[in-house]
């Protein structure tokens, strides 16, 4: 696996960590902030598609399957963030907040598996 590919995975992981930290610091309903998270998520998804998926770098079958999982989880994170943005009650916010947090843990694990 090329170092460039690993660098891109680390960049993806850093971007995810920044968004994760931002979300973790907001335990109470804040739809306006959630809109910013959606924008950041869109940028992360675009980076993933343009730099990692549509690349000329050689990808191993294992990394290709990890890319598929990351893509799926990024899409699901988008759904989580949309639901967070529309959550009005503290109970719904907490539920969606926890789902997004769990999704970040899974995405981090997939990123780490690339380097293993």
pTM for this model (two decimals)? 0.90
pLDDT, mean over the chain: 91
CA pair distance 96, 112, nearest whole angstrom = 24
Give the CATH number for residue 8: 1.20.120.330
- Positive or negative: CA dihedral 38, 53, 110, 7: negative
Tell me the helix, strand and coil percentages in the chain, rounded to 5: 85, 0, 15
pLDDT, tens digit (0-9, with 9 covering 90-100), for 86-113: 988 899 999 999 999 999 999 999 999 9
Q: What is the mean pLDDT of residues 61-73?
A: 92
Mean pLDDT within 51-75: 89
Question: What confidence tier does 59 reach under pLDDT thresholds 50, 70, 90?
Answer: confident
How many domains does the chain divide into?
1
Quote the Cα angle for 8-43-87, to 5°: 130
Residue with structure tokens 């109470």? 28
């Amino acid at each position: 696996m090329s170092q460039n590919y690993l660098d891109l995975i680390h960049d993806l992981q850093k971007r995810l960590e920044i968004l994760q930290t931002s979300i973790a610091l907001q335990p109470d309903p804040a739809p306006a902030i959630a809109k910013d998270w959606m924008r950041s998520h869109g940028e992360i998804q675009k980076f993933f598609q343009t730099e990692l998926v549509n690349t000329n770098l050689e990808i191993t079958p294992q990394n290709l399957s990890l890319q598929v999982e990351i893509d799926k989880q990024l899409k699901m994170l988008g759904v989580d963030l949309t639901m967070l943005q529309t959550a009005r009650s503290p109970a719904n916010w907490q539920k969606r907040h926890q789902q997004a947090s769990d999704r970040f843990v899974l995405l981090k694990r997939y990123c780490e598996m690339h380097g293993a």
